[in-house]
Structures are given as structure tokens and as C-alpha cells.
Amino acid sequence: MDSLLQYFHDLYVEMKDPWAIIGWAGQIVFGSRFIVQWVASERQKKSVIPVSFWYLSMVGSLLLLAYGFYVKQPVYIAGYLFNCVVYVRNLHLIHNQQGEA
């Protein structure tokens, strides 16, 4: 029981670190994109990916990329850096398509 209490105490102390807050914020933003996609799909009664999905993906990835650089984790850096390229490309295609319409 003491180890469980110590774990939560350490987690609380870590949350006071601004970089931990940035990492958690990135996770929350990144995860929220699925809720947005789910709600949009339910409203249209089919699977859709709204533009906001890509913006949430980008913001979440940038926050997690910054956190990855801070904690010096190459797995975070490589993964979220590549993700950002994909998100920028999708947003570029969406905005080009809207400009043609």
C-alpha cells in the first residue's frame, strides 16, 4: 500500500514540472481528436474525418514532439516528427480542395 501511495505522490510531484504538463497537454489534445472524429461520424451516420481532427493531431503532435526533445527520447521525436509531416500534407490538400470549390 505504501508503494502505491508513493507512486501517486511521485506522479503529483512530477505534474509540477512544466514539461510534464506540456506532455500531458499534448496527450490530451492528441487523444481528443478521436472524440471529435467519433462525434462527427455519429452526426453524419458514416465514418468521416473532420478538418478539426487534423488540427488537433498537429497541435498534439507538436506538443509531444517538444516534450520528446526535452526528455531526449528519439522514439517520440521520430514518431511525432513524421506525424507532423503527414498532418501538414493533409491540411494542405484540404485547403487546396476548398480553394478549388
pLDDT in tens, 45-85: 999 999 999 999 999 999 999 999 999 999 999 999 999 99
User: What pLDDT, on the 0 to 100 scale, is given for residue 68?
Assistant: 96
Task: Report the pLDDT averaged over residues 39-46.
Answer: 98
Nearest-CA neighbor of 86 among 42, 53, 43?
A: 53
Residue 68 · residue 76 · CB < 8 Å: yes
How close are the terminal C-alpha atoms of the chain, in Å?
Answer: 62
CA angle centred on 80, ends 52 and 66, rounded to 5° = 95
Burial per residue of 37-50, b for 16 or more beta-carbon CB atoms within 10 angstroms, e otherwise: beebeeeeeeeeeb
- pTM confidence score: 0.82
Give me the residue spans of the domains in the chain. 15-100
